[in-house]
Amino acid sequence: MCGIFAAVNKTNVTNNLLGGLSSLSYRGYDSAGIAVVKQGNIERVRASGKLHELENRLHSYPLDGNIGIAHTRWATHGIPNEKNAHPHMTSRVAVAHNGIVENYESLRRRLETAGYIFESETDSETISQLITYYLDLGLNHEQSLCKALLEIEGSYGVAVIFQEQPKTLYAARRGSPLILGKGDSGFYVSSDINAFSEDVSSITYLKDGDVAKINRDGFSVINLQGEKTPRLLQKLEKDGCESGKQGYDHFMLKEIHEQPDVFERTWRHYFNNQRQAFQLPEFSVPDNEVNSITIVACGTSYFAGMVAKYWLEEYAKVPVNIDIASEFRYRKAPLDQNSLAIFISQSGETADTLAAMAHAKAAGLRCISFVNILTSTMAMESDTVLPTLAGPEIGVASTKAFISQLTSLLIFTMSFRQQAHNKHKAQQAKESMEQIPTLLREYLSDTSSIQNVAKLLHKAENMLYLGRGIAYPLAEEGALKIKEISYIHAEAFPAGELKHGPLALVDEKMPVLVIAPPDDLFAKTLSNLREVASRGAKIILVSTRKGLDLARDYVHAEIEMPEIAKQFIPIMYTLPLQLLAYYVALGKGHDVDQPRNLAKSVTVE
């Protein structure tokens, strides 16, 4: 949430900063800004709206400096306008901040009483004002920064430049990621490793409490007490995943089409060819001592966890509780020490999920995380990490990360309580896994029928998504996708729950998407479908040819699915839900990759 990029270089850094911001835009895109130090002055250009607005502004007001900081914002305090955009500055210092200053109101009151004049409504401006306050008291730059950061409650990643120090860039973190990168001609600081250009060959991850002092030729790191804390550069390993849109119109479409590869990469990662068995990292609690599993996550990751609940209960016979992270962390639920806690996160930086993990750890639970970014805070803080291997996901609405989460959760389910250690079973599972990418690819090769269904929904204002059993979490994920990018108000319900209230919403203006794979619950879902049809709703049915034929008399539009082994239904049936949301959003002219009000990595509560 919010992206920071900073550079100190031999040449003008403006293009480096814009390049960095462009890669970080997924973290927030309601305003952006850049500040550089030039000839003893801090100069700044900011603009509300997406990055191109800042680029336009820079054409009229070009900046030129060898050292600069940049920020792309997702508003928390103060509306998304230019005044609230970062960097925030005084005549002596400029700050780009990611995080939340929880005590900003008391700090602001104190500084205003001392005569400091604020220009924005943000919590972040207290940092630039507080640093200035200490500079004005006569402390040096480093001391002023450390003193200010010590007073801040909450989280921060900051990049800071001083008017009187035109060759030095500072970066500090507590709770919000920041990475330092060394390139041929200078140093860079970024919220995300993927924002570094090709030029960057080695990196170091700043740790909580670090303050890095960086110039063109080198850097040093201290803690907030001013003591040296050496951080070593390590070679930057490129992950080999293709960047850019690769000819697709949007990252989201590209990421949907990558899913067969993501599925394959993920399951193969866990398959030990020598032993011909699935192999997971050792957990310090043996499976058979685990009484239950608690799954915690947010957003799409939560729905992956919900699918896993059905799998784990059915195949591994272990009771599973599942919780939204922001609820779990504050509920006073008694936690069983023999319960295994699972956290699922694409970014590994979601504030609520991280706090939930800290809560579980404090209660003595073993914490396993399923994480896509292996250098993330969550990966570092878990007892065991199970990678999800989706590669960088840029579209704000999560797609391939969901499929990789499902894949690794399925393997976890099969491995739990030794099931996959049975060679015969592992061989069978491997053989069925090998078939899936082809089926997914075939499905994705012709999306015309989904595009036709999407045309029926352009004018819809509300939708219902229904599913039973394992199709219910898919209904939730499908409804989330259509909300996120198509801005259609969509609600998901277990099909059997409809008659307990939501049926009152149904009339001929309400499209109802029913997910009904040919499982043992199909007949029950079919009767719910009839209940909805008899109230005039327009039904879109997602099922196999056989299922569609059985429901023919009630269905307004069909989405035909191939026959597939039962355990892979959640993976296969996710594709049409993603594509439908994509094509509806496209038809409505929305910015598919950067939907309004959202951000990809939510590092605030």
Interacting residue ranges for ligand G6P, rule: CB under 6 A = 298-301, 345-347, 350, 353, 396-398, 598, 600-602
**What are the residues whose beta carbons fall under 8 Å from the beta carbon of 599, sequence distance 6 or more?**
1, 2, 26, 27, 28, 29, 74, 396
Pairwise CA distance, residues 317 & 311, whole Å: 9
CA atoms lying within 13 Å on the CB side of residue 202: 11
E strand or H helix at 224? none
Sign of CA dihedral 249, 250, 254, 257: negative
Q: How far is the CB of 397 from ligand G6P (least distance, A)?
A: 6
Q: Residue 374 or residue 598: which is nearer to ligand G6P going by CB?
A: 598
Pairwise CA distance, residues 491 & 528, whole Å: 16
**Bond preceding residue 518 cis, omega within 30 of 0:** no
Give me the residue whose beta carbon is nearest to ligand G6P: 299
Q: Residue 355 or residue 444: which is nearer to ligand G6P going by CB?
A: 355
519 near 566, Cβ under 8 Å?
yes
Question: In this structure, what token pair is assigned to residue 18?
Answer: 């814009």
2 is catalytic: yes
Q: How far is the CB of 559 from ligand G6P (least distance, A)?
A: 23
Q: How far is the CB of 302 from ligand G6P (least distance, A)?
A: 7
Q: How far is the CB of 369 from ligand G6P (least distance, A)?
A: 10
Q: Residue 3 or residue 299: which is nearer to ligand G6P going by CB?
A: 299
In the block, residue with structure tokens 């960057």: 200
**What are the residues whose beta carbons fall under 8 Å from the beta carbon of 124, sequence distance 6 or more?**
77, 86, 88, 95, 97, 101
Pairwise CA distance, residues 127 & 70, whole Å: 16
φ, ψ at 323 (rounded to 5°): -140, 145
Pairwise CA distance, residues 393 & 404, whole Å: 11
Q: Residue 299 or residue 570: which is nearer to ligand G6P going by CB?
A: 299
Q: How far is the CB of 299 from ligand G6P (least distance, A)?
A: 3
* Nearest one of 493, 479, 474, 477 to 570, comparing CA atoms: 474
Q: Residue 163 or residue 347: which is nearer to ligand G6P going by CB?
A: 347
Pairwise CA distance, residues 255 & 505, whole Å: 34
Q: Residue 165 or residue 601: which is nearer to ligand G6P going by CB?
A: 601
* Nearest one of 363, 465, 51, 393 to 239, comparing CA atoms: 393
- DSSP reduced 3-state for 472: helix
Q: Residue 181 or residue 395: which is nearer to ligand G6P going by CB?
A: 395
Q: How far is the CB of 237 from ligand G6P (least distance, A)?
A: 21
Q: Residue 409 or residue 602: which is nearer to ligand G6P going by CB?
A: 602
User: H helices within 41-155, ranges in order?
Assistant: 51-60, 104-113, 125-136, 141-151
Pairwise CA distance, residues 430 & 4, whole Å: 42
Q: How far is the CB of 300 from ligand G6P (least distance, A)?
A: 3
Question: In this structure, what token pair is assigned to residue 79?
Answer: 């509306």
Strand order in the sheet with 511-515: 489-494, 462-467, 511-515, 538-544, 557-561
Q: How far is the CB of 372 from ligand G6P (least distance, A)?
A: 7
E strand or H helix at 546? helix 545-550
Q: How far is the CB of 325 from ligand G6P (least distance, A)?
A: 8
Give Cα separations from 150 to 88, 127, 312, 486, 605 (angstroms). 19, 11, 45, 43, 21
328 near 342, Cβ under 8 Å?
no
User: H helices within 396-460, ranges in order?
Assistant: 400-415, 423-445, 448-455
524 is catalytic: no
Burial class for 284, CB neighbours closer than 10 Å (0-12, 13-18, 19+) = exposed
Q: Residue 241 or residue 598: which is nearer to ligand G6P going by CB?
A: 598
Q: How far is the CB of 407 from ligand G6P (least distance, A)?
A: 15
- DSSP reduced 3-state for 201: coil
- Active-site annotation, residues: 2, 600
